[in-house]
Amino acid sequence: MSDAIDIKKGLAGVYADTTKISKVMEETNSLTYRGYPVQELAALCKFEEVAYLIWHGELPMREQLMHFERQEREHRWIGDDLIEVMRKFRKTAHPMDTLRTAVSFLGVQDPETEDNSPKANLEKSIKMMARIPTIVAADYRLRNGKEPIKPDPKLGFAENFFHMCFGEVPAPEVVKCFDVSLTLYAEHSFNASTFTSRVIASTTSDIYSAVVGGIGALKGPLHGGANEAVMHMMLEVDDPKKAEAWLLGNIADKRLVMGFGHRVYKHGDSRVPTMKKAFLEMAKIKNGQKWVEMYEILERTMLAKKNIHPNLDFPTGPAYYLMGFDIPMFTPIFVMSRITGWTAHVMEQNEDNKLIRPLAAYDGSAQRKVLPVAER
């Protein structure tokens, strides 16, 4: 391979395009959606407003929000056909696999799938935002031998998800912590899953295909799957008194510590302080002091020994656990939110599309002659 070729492994540090959707600022550990700091959005807006902002570029006025909420609530039910398909899923399949298949089914059923106009794609995005929580909740109930609960159009997006999972809505403080996590997970520029969606969109494929691809990329524990891995890790540690020794052993064995490190943020993830606050609130409500102690020890030790900061998945994992969600639902919940970012990027890609097709420097065998099978 030629030394002259400058290969950027993992596309690290490569600018592949421009975007108006979000700005990740490594220098100041900050993140804005359409110019608004994510911390302010988490404090002052509900997720529905953030979804509107990501798609439309502006926060909704009261009337616009009411119209948008009505649309989202109308589209929530996924239909009996899909429920029947989901009944056939292997009960031990990972919920990211069942979600990937169910979203693909939505694309099969939608007569507008092939319409790539901005209007049709926005409508399909709203439908996916409305229906993905229903899929995640129905899948959770079916795998636990329970019947799905129909969405309640009187409830907001976050409240309705609790209702469809557990048949009840928890205290407003719990719903707010969940809603904050959705806002923080909604969008993050050219992360691996969003880039996957943009690559698919760049071939002028359909928006369902782009989302299905995004789900596949998000599943991996180096990306969205880390929120589940964090909780498995905390359960393995089990006791805060064992946390430091466990971490030192992990570092000595050169094993990854899940929920730490980030490709872009090397001095701290902009979203962590807001989500940590929500996690602490959850721990107060649910008597989860043990997890807070463990969190603090792991964070302190990782910083002292490796100078690596936690990422958003570190506080989100235990927060979702305290909310009562099964661990394999954590990454599907991430999808419930990131669907907004993925689809906004698909629409942005379509506005000014160029096929994404990088080069590879060939590093294999020199050219050779094919021999017929009898002579090999």
The residues that are catalytic are: 262, 313
For residue 328, state whether it binds ligand ACO (rule: CB under 6 A): no
Backbone angles phi, psi at 309, to 5 degrees: -90, 155
For residue 332, state whether it binds ligand ACO (rule: CB under 6 A): no
Query: 22 with 270: CB under 8 angstroms?
Result: no
User: Which of 102, 258, 272, 323 lies at the binding interface for ligand ACO (CB under 6 A)?
Assistant: 258
C-beta of 306: minimal distance to ligand ACO in Å? 6
For residue 256, state whether it binds ligand ACO (rule: CB under 6 A): yes
Segment interacting with ligand ACO, rule: CB under 6 A, options 20-28, 35-43, 132-140, 308-316: 308-316
Segment interacting with ligand ACO, rule: CB under 6 A, options 76-84, 140-148, 218-226, 239-247: 218-226
For residue 333, state whether it binds ligand ACO (rule: CB under 6 A): no
User: Which of 257, 282, 297, 347 lies at the binding interface for ligand ACO (CB under 6 A)?
Assistant: 257
Contacts to ligand ACO from residues 6-25, by CB under 6 A? 10
Angle between helices 80-87 and 118-143 (to 10 degrees): 40
C-beta of 122: minimal distance to ligand ACO in Å? 25
For residue 226, state whether it binds ligand ACO (rule: CB under 6 A): yes
For residue 298, state whether it binds ligand ACO (rule: CB under 6 A): no
User: Which of 22, 98, 134, 311 lies at the binding interface for ligand ACO (CB under 6 A)?
Assistant: 311
For residue 248, state whether it binds ligand ACO (rule: CB under 6 A): no
DSSP 32: E
Count the alpha carbons within 13 Å of 44 in the hemisphere toward its beta carbon: 8
Nearer to ligand ACO, 164 or 257 (CB): 257
Backbone angles phi, psi at 103, to 5 degrees: -65, -35
For residue 262, state whether it binds ligand ACO (rule: CB under 6 A): yes
For residue 263, state whether it binds ligand ACO (rule: CB under 6 A): yes
User: Which of 175, 237, 272, 312 lies at the binding interface for ligand ACO (CB under 6 A)?
Assistant: 312
C-beta of 230: minimal distance to ligand ACO in Å? 7
Segment interacting with ligand ACO, rule: CB under 6 A, options 53-61, 119-127, 306-314, 325-333: 306-314
C-beta of 164: minimal distance to ligand ACO in Å? 24
Backbone angles phi, psi at 4, to 5 degrees: -70, -20
* Range list of H helices, the chain: 38-44, 47-56, 62-74, 80-87, 95-109, 118-143, 157-166, 172-185, 192-202, 207-218, 226-237, 240-252, 272-286, 289-306, 313-323, 330-351
For residue 95, state whether it binds ligand ACO (rule: CB under 6 A): no
For residue 313, state whether it binds ligand ACO (rule: CB under 6 A): yes
Nearer to ligand ACO, 143 or 309 (CB): 309
Residue bearing tokens 């795998």: 143
Q: What is the CA radius of gyration of the chain?
A: 22
For residue 65, state whether it binds ligand ACO (rule: CB under 6 A): no
Q: Is 310 strand, coil or helix?
A: strand
Q: Is 30 strand, coil or helix?
A: strand
Which DSSP string corresponds to 33-99?
Answer: ETTEEHHHHHHH--HHHHHHHHHHSSPPPHHHHHHHHHHHHHT----HHHHHHHHTS-TTS-HHHHH
97 Ramachandran zone, left/alpha/beta (phi>0; psi -120 to 50): alpha
Nearer to ligand ACO, 107 or 224 (CB): 224
For residue 187, state whether it binds ligand ACO (rule: CB under 6 A): no
C-beta of 9: minimal distance to ligand ACO in Å? 8
What is the token pair recorded at 189? Answer: 């520029």
Rounded-to-integer distance, Cα 246 and Cα 239, Å: 10
Contact residues: ligand ACO, CB under 6 A: 10, 222-224, 226, 256-263, 306, 308, 311-313
